[in-house]
């Protein structure tokens, strides 16, 4: 199966809103709206256009990077030696 054809890519891409995948856009909207509502300071609304550009760049390169990170961090357990050597070693 050729996964580089335009038809395959068009049918498998994530749904987008304002050029961002839905998860990115909802996260950005919540991250800017909640501080605005709590603090009643319109400066927090400026976070939306500031963060939109980097998120769009990340989504353009790899639209599921945050999903992959969530899966890795939720399924990969920490080892007992994590504090000692600063990382996890999975050796049998």
Stated pTM of the model: 0.67
Q: In the prediction, which pLDDT does 66 show?
A: 84
Can you tell me which residue has the tokens 């976070």? Answer: 47
Those residues with Cβ within 8 angstroms of residue 59's Cβ, 6 or more apart along the chain or in another chain: 16, 19, 20, 21, 24
Cα(14)–Cα(64) distance, rounded to whole angstroms? 9
62 alpha carbon, distance to own chain's centre: 9
Higher pLDDT, 27 or 80: 27
**Percent of the chain predicted with pLDDT > 90:** 33
Residues 56-81 have a mean pLDDT of: 82
DSSP assigned state of 15: P
Tell me if residue 92 falls in helix, strand or coil. Answer: coil
Span 27-38, average pLDDT:
93
């Amino acid at each position: 199966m050729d996964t580089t054809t335009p038809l395959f890519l068009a049918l498998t891409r994530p749904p987008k809103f304002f050029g961002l995948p839905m998860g990115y856009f909802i996260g950005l909207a919540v991250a800017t709206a909640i501080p605005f509502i709590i603090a009643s300071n319109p400066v927090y609304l400026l976070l939306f256009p500031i963060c939109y550009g980097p998120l769009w760049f990340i989504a353009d390169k790899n639209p599921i990077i945050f999903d992959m990170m969530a899966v890795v961090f939720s399924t990969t357990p920490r080892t007992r030696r994590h504090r000692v050597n600063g990382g996890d070693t999975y050796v049998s």
